[in-house]
Amino acid sequence: MRLFFCLLALLGSMLATAAPTPGQFSQVTGSWGSNPTNTGFYIYVPKNLASKPGIIVAIHYCTGTAQAYYQSTPYAQLAEQYGFIVIYPSSPYSGTCWDVSSQAALTHNGGGDSNSIANMVTWTTSQYNADTSKVFVTGSSSGAMMTNVMAATYPELFNAAVVYSGVAAGCFYSASGQADAWNSTCAQGNVDATPQAWASIVKNMYPGYSGSRPRMQIYHGSIDTTLYPENYNETCKEWAGVFGYTYTAPQQVETNTPQSQYTTTIWGSNLHGIFATGVGHTVPVNGARDMQWFGFA
C-alpha cells in the first residue's frame, strides 16, 4: 500500500510538470509557478547543456508566437553552441501583443504578463541549476517593449538585455488600466520626456529596489513607421537616466558599426544604442552581437 501511494505521488509529480525534451522546442505545463495571465511557457533545452547553464528569455512580436520566434531567431542554434537555455513566452492575447500598458504589468510582482515571465525564469533557474549571473532577456517589437518592462520590473533577475525596435518602459501606459492596450501617442513618437523623468518611471515599477540593473543594448531603425524612430531616443534617455549617464554627452559614437549604415552610441558600459539607417520595423536580430553583449562569446 505504501509503495502504491509513493508511485501515485511520483506519477502526480511527473504529470504536474513534464520534463522538456533536450534539443526540442517544448511547452512547459503544470505547476511551474504562478501564472496570473495564463501566458504560454515554451522552452528550448539544448542537448549540449552546460553544467550551470545561462538563460535567455526571447520574447516574440505582435501577431507572432513563441514557436514563430523560435523558428525565426538563432537562439536555439546558439544554445547548442554555448549550452544555455532559451525561454520563449507566448502572449495570451488575441493579437499576441504583450501587456506593457496596465499597472499590473508595470509593477514588480503586480500580477501581469511580466510577473508570469519572471516566474518562468525562477522555475527554470531552479530546475536546471542555472547560473543566475547569466540570465538575459531580449525581444522584437512588442517583445522589445516587454524586454524593457522586464528590465524595469525585475532588474534582480537579469544581467543584460537587448531591445530590437521597442519603446521605453512605461511609454505604453494606459491610465484606464487596460491590459494589452495600444498607445498611438507613444508609437508615433509624440512622447518626449527627460532622462530623469524616465528614470523615475522605471524606479517606480519596483519601489525601494537598490540593487544592480541589467546592461541595456537598444536597436532601432530610422524608417520605422510602426514604432517611430523617436522611440529610440526616448528608450536611450530612459536608461541613461537610470544609470546616471549624461544623455547629451555619450562617451563614444562609432559610425558603420556593427555594420554599414548602423551607428553605435556608447554612453558607458551599461548602455549602448544602435541606430540603423534605412531600416524599418523591425531591426533584424544579430545573434553574434547578442552573444558578445551577453558574454557567451
Give the mean pLDDT of 105-121.
98
Position 232 in a domain: yes
Tell me the pLDDT of the chain averaged across its residues.
Answer: 95
Residues 244-264: tens digit of each pLDDT: 999 999 999 999 999 999 999
Residue % of the chain over a pLDDT of 70:
94
| Domains held by the chain: number | 1
Position 13 in a domain: no
Position 102 in a domain: yes
CA distances from 20 to 53, 63, 151, 222, 295 (A): 15, 25, 26, 40, 26
Q: Is 114 a catalytic residue?
A: no
Give the mean pLDDT of 150-157.
98
pLDDT at site 19 = 81
Position 18 in a domain: no
d(CA 58, CA 277): 25
Is the pLDDT at 5 greater than 50? The verdict is no
Q: Domain with 270 in it: what CATH number? A: 3.40.50.1820
Please give the residue range of the domain that contains residue 108.
24-294
Position 9 in a domain: no
- DSSP tag of 240: H
Is the pLDDT at 237 greater than 50? The verdict is yes
Grid coordinates standing for 40?
A: 504560454
Residues 155-171: tens digit of each pLDDT: 999 999 999 999 999 99
Residues 216-228: tens digit of each pLDDT: 999 999 999 999 9
Range scoring the smallest mean pLDDT among 5-14, 63-72, 96-105, 270-279 = 5-14
Catalytic residue among 90, 91, 116, 141: 141
pTM for this model (two decimals): 0.94
Residue 43 φ/ψ, nearest 5 degrees: -150, 150
SS3 78: helix
Q: How far from chain centre, in Å, is Cα 111?
A: 17
Is the pLDDT at 173 greater than 70? The verdict is yes
- 91 CB-side CA count, 13 A: 25
Position 109 in a domain: yes
Q: How confident is the model at residue 177 (pLDDT cuts 50, 70, 90)?
A: confident
Is the pLDDT at 297 greater than 60? The verdict is yes
- DSSP tag of 132: G
pLDDT at site 17 = 66
Position 7 in a domain: no
- DSSP tag of 140: E
SS3 136: strand
Q: In the chain, where do the E strands start and end?
A: 25-27, 40-44, 55-59, 85-90, 135-140, 160-164, 215-221, 252-254, 262-268, 271-276
Position 113 in a domain: yes
Give the mean pLDDT of 178-199.
97
